[in-house]
Amino acid sequence: MIYLLLSILASTLIFVVFKLFTRFKINTLHAIVFNYFVACICGVIGYGKPIVLSEIPQYEWFYYTLGLGALFIIVFNLMALTTQRSGLSVVSVATKMSLVIPILFGLIYYKESLGIYKGIGMLLALVAVYLASIKNSDGLVVKRSYLIFPVLVFLGSGIIDTSIKFLEDSFVADGDIALFSSTIFAAAALIGISIISIKGITGGSKFEFKNIIGGLALGIPNFFSIYFLIKTLRSDLFDSSGIFTVNNVGIVMLSTLVGIILFNEKLLTKNWIGIILAIISIMLVAVGQFL
């Protein structure tokens, strides 16, 4: 349980840092790329053993982490495009609703159980995520020509979570979780540096020291959000479909409450209904897990 709570807390801290990016006008791309370096260093420190770079490609999971690192950067840019064209609420819903993909993967590939309580809990979780994420009275408005972007964010986010579950279950030893996570972030960082370098050459970006501070603040919780998620997936608390449901719903709930307390966000009636449904969904998933 402690790993699940820490994963939710770390992911919520990411939300807080992103909110502060807007307040302090931090270049998100620069901060994101530096955050990957920080997260990578956290993994190296957490690994606690000497690392021989020439030996890392010998791990079965190595080439998969390169793909995941690339996907991290791709999804980030898609999120930025979606925010510009359709708004933050659309990105939030697309990202959180992507929990459907790892849930279905767990139910189909791992043949995880799906009782009546757990099934209802998962459906309520999806409704809760939607209602809690919509911060305007008009709901989601997406132009047909821009629909591809939230769809790709949905697919990309879901594939990332699903891949992490599959790789940690199939290839990653208990003692290599930190190294595995660190390698993913290293791949993302190197790809990100390439993007920044190209933009710098073409005059499309300007370096500022505050972006490094933003990346540092983001990188630490980012690493631990992945690390503790993997530790949770390896626990006997719930199966993976239950863990992804409770984890995502928990993040939505805590992020909403933090938004009220720290940023004076005003919630609509639908948001409160979403929070109530989120609590009920967690209870149903928990009950269904042990019946």
Residue 164: exposed, middle, or buried by beta-carbon count in 10 A (0-12, 13-18, 19+)? Answer: buried
| Cβ-based neighbour number of residue 276 at 10 Å | 15
Full residue range of the structural domain in which residue 38 is found: 2-289
| 3-state DSSP of 234-259 | CCCCCCHHHHHHHHHHHHHHHHHHHH
Name the pTM for this structure. Answer: 0.89
Domains: count for the chain = 1
Per-residue pLDDT of the chain (291 residues; tens, 9 = 90+): 899 999 999 999 998 898 888 788 888 888 989 999 999 999 999 998 888 899 999 999 999 999 999 999 899 888 878 877 877 778 888 888 999 999 999 999 999 988 899 999 999 999 998 898 887 776 667 778 888 999 999 999 999 999 999 999 999 998 999 999 999 999 999 998 988 888 766 565 677 889 999 999 999 999 999 999 999 999 877 899 999 999 999 998 898 888 888 888 888 899 999 999 999 999 999 888 776
